[in-house]
């Protein structure tokens, strides 16, 4: 085989693999969309800003220690619900105590609860 033929064969194989991965991702996201619709029906008053998560998780770089990087997990609370004392899942006013440790008395949301399902991506 020539180099051009090998390259064409490799492109064909890569194209098939990409198409298979796209089909898997589409299937996953179709299931996620169904779960998102169910979540919205179950919790119609969820916070539109954070989608019921209560904020946004992140990771902050803290520096280098030898050859290793140090990161700290962070969580920024949602200014539209948590910071105003509303439950991010059901929207109940004054649902969270001052420390945010007790679960919502209405829907039992706490900081370990999940919000609206998220789409998958590569």
Q: What is the tally of structural domains in the chain?
A: 2
Q: What is the pTM of this model?
A: 0.68
Regarding whether 81 and 105 lie in a shared domain, the answer is yes
Q: How far is the C-alpha of 20 from the C-alpha of 12, rounded, in Å?
A: 12
Regarding whether 61 and 36 lie in a shared domain, the answer is no
**E strands, the chain, where?**
55-65, 68-77
pLDDT over 90 (residue 7): no
Please compute the mean of the pLDDT values over residues 5-24 and round it to a whole number.
82
Residue 122 lies in a domain: no
Regarding whether 111 and 53 lie in a shared domain, the answer is yes
pLDDT tens figures, 35-45 = 999 999 999 99
Q: How far is the C-alpha of 51 from the C-alpha of 36, rounded, in Å?
A: 10
> Nearest CA to 104 among 57, 50, 41, 46?
46
> Nearest CA to 73 among 56, 52, 96?
56
Regarding whether 16 and 74 lie in a shared domain, the answer is no
Hunting for tokens 């001052």 — which residue is that?
Answer: 98
**Residues of the domain holding 54:** 45-116
């Amino acid at each position: 085989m020539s180099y051009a033929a090998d390259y064409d064969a490799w492109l064909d194989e890569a194209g098939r693999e990409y198409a298979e991965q796209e089909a898997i991702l589409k299937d996953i996201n179709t299931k996620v969309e169904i779960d998102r619709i169910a979540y919205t029906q179950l919790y119609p008053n969820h916070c539109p800003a954070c989608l019921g998560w209560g904020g946004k998780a992140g990771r902050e770089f803290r520096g280098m220690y030898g050859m290793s990087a140090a990161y700290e997990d962070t969580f920024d609370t949602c200014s539209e619900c948590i910071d105003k004392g509303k439950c991010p899942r059901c929207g109940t006013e004054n649902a969270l105590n001052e420390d945010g440790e007790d679960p919502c008395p209405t829907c039992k949301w706490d900081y370990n609860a999940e919000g609206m399902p998220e789409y998958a991506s590569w």
